[in-house]
Copies of this chain bind each other. A is one copy, B any other.
Amino acid sequence: MADSLSEIRERVNQFVAERDWAQFHTPKNLAMAMIVEAAELVELFQWDTPNESQRLDEVKLEAVRHELADTFVYLLRIAEVLDIDLIAAVNDKVTLNVLKYPAEKVRGSNAKYTHYLEE
C-alpha cells in the first residue's frame, strides 16, 4: 500500500492509466469532477447542525471518509496534469495567509480580510 503523498499520487495515476481515462482528465473536467465529490461531502452535512456534524456515528464517518478520499483523488489528478507540487503550493499559500491574516488582528474572528483592512 502507498504510504506517502507521492506514492498515493502514483497509485492513482496507475489506476487512471490502466483504464485509459487520462484522455478525459483535462483540468476543466477534473475541476468539475472534484466539485461534484466536494458536494457529496456537503450533502452529508446539509441538514446537520454544526454540532451534529462533529458527532458522527460509524456509518456516517465512513461515508465522509469515502467522499473526502474521492475529492482528494481528483485534487491529486489536477496537481498531476498541471505539474503542481501540492506541498509547495500549500506552504506558499500559508506563508501568504500569515501576512494577510495577522494573528493579533484576526484572533477569534472570521471577518474577511477586507473587513479589518478597512479599519
Contact = CB atoms under 8 A, between A and B. Distances in A.
A61 B43 CA distance: 24
Interface residues of A, number: 76
A58 interface: no
Given A48-B28, A50-B28, A101 B68 contact: no
B29 A47 contact: yes
Contact of A75 (B20, B53, B72, B93): B72
Contacts of A71: 34, 38, 75
Contact of A65 (B5, B20, B84): B84
Nearest to A52: B28
A15 interface: yes
